[in-house]
C-alpha cells in the first residue's frame, strides 16, 4: 500500500506527464532480443538496463491415456540467481508459483498453443 504522499506524487506525475528518466508516458525503451543457437532455446531480452534470460527445452513423451491425441506443455520458472537472500525465498517461491499459474491460465484460455499438434 502507498502512503498518501506517494499516491499524490504518482497521480501528479501522471497528470503532468513527468517521469524521473525524462521520458513521456508514451515513450518506451528499446527492446533488444538476442537468440542463442536453435538447440538450446536460449533468449536474452533487454529493456533498457533490465535483462531477462529465458531458456526453453522440449522432450518427447507418451501422451496421457485419457487424451491420446493431445500433447501438453508446462511452464517452470526458476529464480535461483535471486535466492542468495534467505529472507526473500518464501516471497520468491510465491511469485514463482503465481507466475507459472498465470502463464498456464493465459495459454490455456487463449488456446494459443494447439495441443493436438504437439
pLDDT in tens, the chain (118 residues): 789 999 999 898 888 888 878 888 788 888 899 988 766 788 888 988 888 888 877 777 888 889 888 887 877 777 766 656 566 677 888 888 888 888 888 887 888 888 887 7
pTM above 0.85, yes or no: no
The residues pairing with 50 across neighbouring beta strands, listed in sequence order, are 47
Residue 103's SS3 state is helix
Q: How far, in Å, are 63, 111, 116 from residue 67 at the CA level? A: 7, 16, 9
Smallest CA-to-CA distance from 29 within 39, 38, 19 is with 19
pLDDT of residue 81: 64
Amino acid at each position: 500500500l502507498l502512503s498518501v504522499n506517494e499516491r499524490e506524487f504518482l497521480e501528479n506525475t501522471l497528470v503532468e506527464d513527468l517521469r524521473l528518466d525524462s521520458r513521456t508516458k508514451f515513450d518506451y525503451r528499446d527492446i533488444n532480443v538476442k537468440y542463442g543457437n536453435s538447440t538450446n532455446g536460449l533468449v536474452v531480452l533487454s529493456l533498457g538496463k533490465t535483462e531477462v534470460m529465458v531458456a526453453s527445452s522440449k522432450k518427447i513423451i507418451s501422451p496421457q491415456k485419457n487424451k491420446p491425441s493431445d500433447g501438453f506443455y508446462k511452464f517452470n520458472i526458476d529464480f535461483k540467481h535471486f535466492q542468495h537472500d534467505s529472507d526473500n525465498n518464501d516471497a520468491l517461491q510465491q511469485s514463482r508459483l503465481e507466475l507459472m499459474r498465470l502463464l498456464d491460465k493465459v495459454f490455456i484460455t487463449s488456446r494459443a498453443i494447439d495441443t493436438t499438434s504437439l
